[in-house]
Structures are given as structure tokens and as C-alpha cells.
Amino acid sequence: MTTLTIGTRGSRLALWQANHIADRLRELEPGLVVELEVIKTRGDKILDVPLAKVGGKGLFVKEIETALIEGSVDLAVHSMKDVPAELVDGGMLAAVPEREDPRDALVSRDDIALADLPRGARVGTSSLRRRAQLLERRPDLEIDMLRGNVDTRLRKLDEGQFDAIVLAAAGLSRLGFGERISEYLEGQGWLPAAGQGALGIEVRESDERTRELIERLHDPDAADCVRAERALLEWLGGGCQVPIAAHAVLDGDALRLEALVAHPDGTPILRESGRAPRAQAGSLGRRVGEALLSRGGQEILDELLAAE
């Protein structure tokens, strides 16, 4: 093995993530040549429609997975929050590296916190999950669609199109915008997207040599937390169309999972949590998901899916 090609989206954040993995691989295998192949996904092409209305799963990974299976790239670097529960036939998740900060972050023009935004302030996000939690805390806010890469979203904020925007803290940190964060959104039940802050490296099942190299980047702690979160997401059948959040943390030799299902308008929001040995990460996610469904989550999901 002398050359590996990484399939990646073309945004600055995606390229940062792919280059980060490329650098790690070069450290592991001196002399290895790692190249990047930029692939435009459906989610990158449709920028004037809310993600919830674009529909379908894998909006930011499908075309990259196709290139992987066809052999034009050797591995794919994904943001785990974009990866559907089921991978493409012939693909496998070989590694989840150490996780970055999973929290959401508020960036405001006046560098003030969510509670201090003026009544009726305009807040930008493309996420129904973020919308629901914003409106739960501040039902007076005007929540408007904001699509595009991190640089585009920050530019729209700076131009005065929004009073504040909500982004993933990990993306801001990776791109050197950490100082722009006005407030980390956490506590009081605020939860991130399943897999947020984590990367996933997908390879072909049949490519044993690449898989063995990639597995050396695997972080079991991050992987177990993400596995619980994704198991919940899969159990609920959630995608961009449904406000679902999940966050798992290690608690000794166990995992503690917090999750929610919400109506996009911020009410109701149903929350549930659970704890289990880390070896039971998948069953923990399913158990917490089932508890949410039985408490009224099924009615929320049915209403939202019927409205599509």
C-alpha cells in the first residue's frame, strides 16, 4: 500500500477533517501517500431548501459511499451526525477517532447569551432539533432557515441577516473560530445531535489492508458513546425531518445516555435517560428510544411524518 485516496465533501470543514485524518495516517505509515478526492453530495447541491424538506437519509454521504464502493476512493471521512444508521452494501465503519466537543454553540453579533437576546431576535439554524430547543427556552424568538458552510453562516450573521446563529462547537473549533462562540448551549436539558463532534471512517469490507490501517485510529470510548446515540436514532427512525437529540457519556465502566424527541415548535419536548454497561451500548439506545416512544414520542413522529 503506497497511496490512499480519501473521499470527502468540499467544504472547508470537511476538508479540514479529511486532511486531519490524512495527517494521522501519514504518521502511522511513513512514506504513505494520501490524496483527497472532493465529491459533491446532494446535500451540498440543494442550499435553498430546509434539510427537513429535502428528505431522505444520507444527504451528505451517499455520493461518497458510491465512489468508495466503485473503487475510485479508498476510504471516506464522514461527520458521524450525517451518517445514516445503515451504511451502503459493501461499506463498513472501520474507525471512530477521538471525539471533538459535541456541544452546540451560540454565536451572536453582540456576543451575548441566548437568555439576553432581545425579544423577537432572529436566530438562524437549519436544524429542527435546534429550533425546538431554542423555542422551548425562548418562544419569542424568530427562528429562520440558515444553510451553507460555516464561513457562509458566519458571514450572514456579520452582515446583519441574523442576530445570532447556532452551530456545532466542533466545527467552529476545528476551523479556528472558537473565539466567536458567545455561549455553549448545554445544561437545562439541551442536547446535541447523535454523533455530533465525532468523525467516522468508512472503508470497503473487502479491503482488509486499508481496514487494518484505519482501525489504528479507532477510539473505543468515542465509538461506544456514538453507538448508543445512533442506536437510539435508528430505533426512532429519525433523520433531518424529526427533532431528535442524543448524547452519551462514559460513567465509570458504564454509559449514561440522555435523549429527546420534540415537536419543531418547541412543545412538547420529551426527555428520557438511561444507564447500562458500555458493552450494551446498542441495547441502551434502543431502550431509551422505546421509552420516548411510549411517553408520546410516537405521536410526535407520526404527526411529522404525515405532514411531509
Alpha-carbon distance of 109 to 156, in angstroms, equals: 10
Element at 106 (helix H, strand E): strand 104-108
Active site residues: 82
- SS3 state at 15: helix
DSSP reduced 3-state for 301: helix
What distance in Å separates the CA atoms of residue 42 and residue 54, rounded to the nearest whole number?
9
CA distances from 187 to 39, 86, 165, 190, 258 (A): 37, 31, 18, 6, 11
Residue 22 CB partners (closer than 8 Å, separation 6+)? 6, 34, 36
CA 141/CA 119 separation, integer angstroms: 6
The secondary structure of 40-56, three-state, reads CCHHHHCCCCCHHHHCC
Is the CA virtual torsion 61, 74, 221, 14 positive or negative?
A: negative
Tell me phi and psi for residue 189, to 5 degrees.
85, 5
